[in-house]
Structure 1
Amino acid sequence: MKRLTDPKPFKEIMPKVLQMILNVGLTVLALALCVMLIIEMVEFLKFIVGGEKQEYKYFFAKILVFFLYFEFITMIVKYFKEDYHFPLRYFMYIGITAMLRLIIVEHDSAVDTLIFAAVILVLIIGYYIINITPRERPLRKS
């Protein structure tokens, strides 16, 4: 007869419950990002068709925000396709895009621009290191 305080069912059920909560949360987040992406697309089309006089900074900022939404949605799709795993390279893509957005929009200070460029360089070097390391590592024998 099993005791009610037996930890085995808890160890088996709890990860599944937490995974379900995470999946539902990410699905809701993906839907919200899709709505935001559509709103950005509409704003972008209004900008192009309406012929409003806006600064080019505003134009580039809107394009890069669009790509950030797109990358986050893509990352969530990859999470579900790769058996509940976030590929690290997508975080690096998002970081590079975000830093490029900062450089384009906030380029008043040369020191800040240099720091942002250094961050992009570090991210690219990290991405290169990830790509040259083997994905499958042999198991160590103890």
Structure 2
Amino acid sequence: MEKFDRLAKRVGNFLECFAEISMAVFGLCLIGFVFVELWQLVKLSPLFAGHLTSFDPVLEKIITFFLLFEFLAMAAAAMQNHGHLAADFLISLGITALLRGLIAEHGTPTQNILTSLAILALIIGEILMHWQNNREHHDNK
């Protein structure tokens, strides 16, 4: 049984190391994609292209840039915490994604209300989570 425990520990350490290396490679790829999107955004600007016929391609590139930037922030947070992400970080990403979708694509009024309610639910959830954490922290003193 002791041999199995040692083997399991080695396999676990290998997988943890592999996950951290993979996350670092993923982060480096994201940095490259962020710069590519930024360059494409600059090429669409009126100063570089000479004219701007439609805001749709520019808005699409901005949304893609910030989406990649959020993924990069998530990869950095995961690297700093050895693969773990805090719940409030993920809730904030969800709020940001829903807000971006609400701003970029105006759906039907029903879709807009449902998206707004989802944002409100996430905000209330984050407030309750922080309230509970502060309460537990205060009780432990």
TM > 0.5? yes
Of 51-60 and 66-75, more deviation after overlay is shown by 51-60
Q: Distance in 1 between matches of 2:82 and 2:19?
A: 13
Q: Distance in 2 between matches of 1:52 and 1:83?
A: 47
Task: Read off the aligned partner of 1:91 and give its amino acid letter.
Answer: L
1:73-88 to structure 2, matched below 5 A, reads 73-88=72-87
Q: Distance in 1 between matches of 2:51 and 2:36?
A: 17
1:101-112 to structure 2, matched below 5 A, reads 101-112=100-111
Partner residue in 2 for 1:36: 33
Partner residue in 1 for 2:64: 65
1:124-135 to structure 2, matched below 5 A, reads 124-134=123-133
Of 79-88 and 8-17, more deviation after overlay is shown by 79-88
User: Does residue 25 of the first structure (1) align with residue 22 of the second (2)?
Assistant: yes
TM-score scaled by structure 1?
0.79
Consecutive unaligned residues in structure 1, runs of 5 or more: none
Secondary structure of 1:134's match?
helix
Contact 1:64 1:97 in 2 (8 A): no
Secondary structure of 2:67's match?
helix
Contact 1:72 1:94 in 2 (8 A): no
Question: Aligned-pair distance for 1:83?
Answer: 3.6
Question: Aligned-pair distance for 1:135?
Answer: 6.8
Question: Aligned-pair distance for 1:52?
Answer: 4.0
Q: Distance in 2 between matches of 1:115 and 1:51?
A: 40
Partner residue in 2 for 1:10: 7
Partner residue in 1 for 2:122: 123
CA separation of 1:67/1:26 partners in 2, compared to 1, >3 Å: closer, same or farther?
same
CA separation of 1:84/1:135 partners in 2, compared to 1, >3 Å: closer, same or farther?
farther
Of 35-44 and 65-74, more deviation after overlay is shown by 65-74
Contact 1:57 1:104 in 2 (8 A): no
Contact 2:23 2:79 in 1 (8 A): no
Runs (4+) off by over 6 Å:
none
Give aligned-pair identity as a percent.
Answer: 24
CA separation of 1:40/1:124 partners in 2, compared to 1, >3 Å: closer, same or farther?
same
Q: Distance in 2 between matches of 1:108 and 1:127?
A: 26
- How large is the RMSD of aligned CA atoms in angstroms? 2.4
CA separation of 1:135/1:80 partners in 2, compared to 1, >3 Å: closer, same or farther?
farther
